[in-house]
Chains A and B, each alone.
Chain A
């Protein structure tokens, strides 16, 4: 990490991609706190299959950046035990599609140890997992199943959409006393750069971000879908003079209900954009929340623009599966024109 370390002394911010911001975030937290350890498959010498842990092994050594046997339940189970000894494990699940073998350890144990021990033990750990489609990956490599974890009490679920947020949300997640599922939208790992402060900072785990202010409709989204939502908003502004407000949820559990509701009270219309399958997805939760909190402000049916209730297709068809700007624009127009 010598190159980054020398850069840090020269300037206050550096232009980073999202995955570089995550690497920088891990570096920053590990340098500050000896109890933070990274473990998983290929995270050590190889620096992670997406390079998210690049150079950490060289900087912090094999006892803090640990290549484990290939075993997801083992990695999460071991991390729960490590957390009981005062360490702060940051296990990596190589792809969200390979998280299912660890599902029982996450939902039955990491999420519940605090309540099962009546507050005596907790599991402060951050499970990092690249998720989502759009990178022409093989089968099982493009899953977006955040709703599984949002549904489980005891877990927090986070998904950044910018490099700045990635570092700040990761810091807040590592400092959080509860287990956090940190979902990294791998489609935008290297899509763009942004200035990221070299100093440590946090982005709060209970605040959604208003990415674009607008008065005609609220679009709720997160992760990789934030970009096409913003593009759609800009296109509609120019082509049809529709003023779209874009809310990036950032933390999916617990939801920032206040920001969600306040935006809807202003616009009276809502579209929710996610790449996960439509049925039982987080869009349903947001739509119902709006109905509970602000029905009298509603001007049109709430629209969900989502993935299909089907497994993610192989890459020849994934552009049809993922909500692209054109689908988002069409859905927004349908709602505004209702």
Chain B
């Protein structure tokens, strides 16, 4: 079926369209599709996948609520995208690197960042940007697509040093595919054949501009062809399918078969159920019916149904998991709220050593802090 014809039909989600190339394992309800092959994954890993997706959904709801209460600054919600975020991160090996955007809260958590560090920047403290030594996550990227050539460069560096057991997974959005950095990064990736996997989280909207306004190509995955690398389309609301596709791409990045190229562009077809950020109102630019159609394929419900069907989950375990998640998230926000920052942090980590002039600027501020009380510094702004 021609996707371009379908694009005009707002009430039919792209993931539901007849599309022989879209990788799916679960149907809309969470039942395994006929002929689908479920990835080789243990019950323990399946539960981890489920728990992390559930935690991400709860984190998102709480973060939006905390923002409304004035306890957090602008936040980029991820509801609808948690399944893909968590599944891609769980497909990573510990030594692999993750390049997240500002929306990959769950992807970061699933690759080792703690929840407190996710809340801290939203509270205005850079402490949360401090990444532990044993966690291979880059700071979240806010300018669009800029991470693509950087992720490529890291994968290239590993390859040049013979470390092809380490792969790099780089997230981007559908809007990012319009940027020059997307082209430059994927072009380099193809030319230098680097162990990198680029995951385009096609959530259909770049703030208010639809996917159809980002590109006239039928799919985003097909762009890979122009770079001489593989492109794969996957149902991004189907965590099992995303896990399978990401695992296979990462395995190929590390150890390509004869004639295979290391890099892959995965188009994870999904939907942003909520606003772009808490400062955005999607009702201005899209119909509620569109969102409802995608809601029928909610990744949380689907993985839950699958686990019930498999006998891995029951209602007692489900509520136990839910209780533990709620406790973890509320403890994290409470800890983040106790963070305090010294104005000295303004001058730290700009260079390895603080330059003399910057030291003078800090000393001047500290002299004023001694002279006036702390409240004086916010008087004009409030």
Interface residues of A (CB under 8 A from B): 37, 63, 68-69, 71, 73-74, 76-87, 101, 104-105, 108-109, 113-122, 153-154, 156, 177-178, 254-255, 257
Contact between B349 and A119, CB atoms less than 8 A apart: yes
* Nearest Cβ on chain A to B355's Cβ, whole angstroms: 4
Q: B142 — nearest CB in chain A belongs to which residue? A: A108
**Which of B7-15, B77-85, B148-156, B285-293 contacts the other chain?**
B148-156
* Nearest Cβ on chain A to B252's Cβ, whole angstroms: 20
Contact between A87 and B160, CB atoms less than 8 A apart: yes
**Which of B178-186, B270-278, B323-331 contacts the other chain?**
B178-186
Contact between A257 and B356, CB atoms less than 8 A apart: yes
Q: How many residues of B contact A (CB 8 A)?
A: 41
When distances are taken between beta carbons in the complex, the residues of chain A under 8 Å from B349 are 114-115, 117-119
Contact between B153 and A109, CB atoms less than 8 A apart: no
In the complex, B378 has a CB within 8 A of chain A = no
Contact between B351 and A118, CB atoms less than 8 A apart: no
Contact between A73 and B139, CB atoms less than 8 A apart: no
Q: Identify which of B143, B153, B191, B357 contacts A82 (C-beta below 8 A).
A: B153
In the complex, B222 has a CB within 8 A of chain A = no
When distances are taken between beta carbons in the complex, the residues of chain B under 8 Å from A71 are 184, 187-188
When distances are taken between beta carbons in the complex, the residues of chain A under 8 Å from B163 are 85
Contact between B357 and A81, CB atoms less than 8 A apart: no
Q: Identify which of B149, B150, B191, B350 contacts A115 (C-beta below 8 A).
A: B350
Contact between A81 and B151, CB atoms less than 8 A apart: yes
A-B contact pairs, 14 of them (CB 8 A): A74-B187, A77-B181, A78-B156, A78-B188, A83-B153, A83-B157, A84-B153, A84-B157, A105-B149, A114-B350, A117-B139, A119-B349, A154-B351, A254-B356
Q: B148 — nearest CB in chain A belongs to which residue? A: A77
5 additional contacts (CB under 8 A) given A73-B149, A77-B153:
A77-B181, A82-B156, A84-B154, A87-B160, A115-B126
In the complex, B280 has a CB within 8 A of chain A = no
Query: In the bound complex, how far is the Cα of B179 from the Cα of A74, in angstroms?
Result: 12
Query: In the bound complex, how far is the Cα of B146 from the Cα of A119, in angstroms?
Result: 20
* Nearest Cβ on chain B to A39's Cβ, whole angstroms: 10
Q: Are A109 and B188 also in contact (CB < 8 A) when A77-B153, A114-B352 are?
A: no
When distances are taken between beta carbons in the complex, the residues of chain A under 8 Å from B185 are 74, 77-78
Main DSSP-derived SS at the B contact region? helix
Q: A123 — nearest CB in chain B belongs to which residue? A: B150
Contact between A121 and B138, CB atoms less than 8 A apart: yes
When distances are taken between beta carbons in the complex, the residues of chain B under 8 Å from A117 are 129-131, 138-139, 349
In the complex, B337 has a CB within 8 A of chain A = no
* Nearest Cβ on chain A to B189's Cβ, whole angstroms: 9
Query: In the bound complex, how far is the Cα of B141 from the Cα of A108, in angstroms?
Result: 10
* Nearest Cβ on chain A to B63's Cβ, whole angstroms: 21
Q: Identify which of A78, A153, A178, A257 contacts B152 (C-beta below 8 A).
A: A78
When distances are taken between beta carbons in the complex, the residues of chain A under 8 Å from B157 are 81-87
The 9 A-B pairs at the shortest CB distance, nearest first, are namely A81-B153, A77-B149, A85-B157, A74-B184, A78-B153, A81-B154, A118-B130, A82-B157, A71-B184
Query: In the bound complex, how far is the Cα of B138 from the Cα of A154, in angstroms?
Result: 18
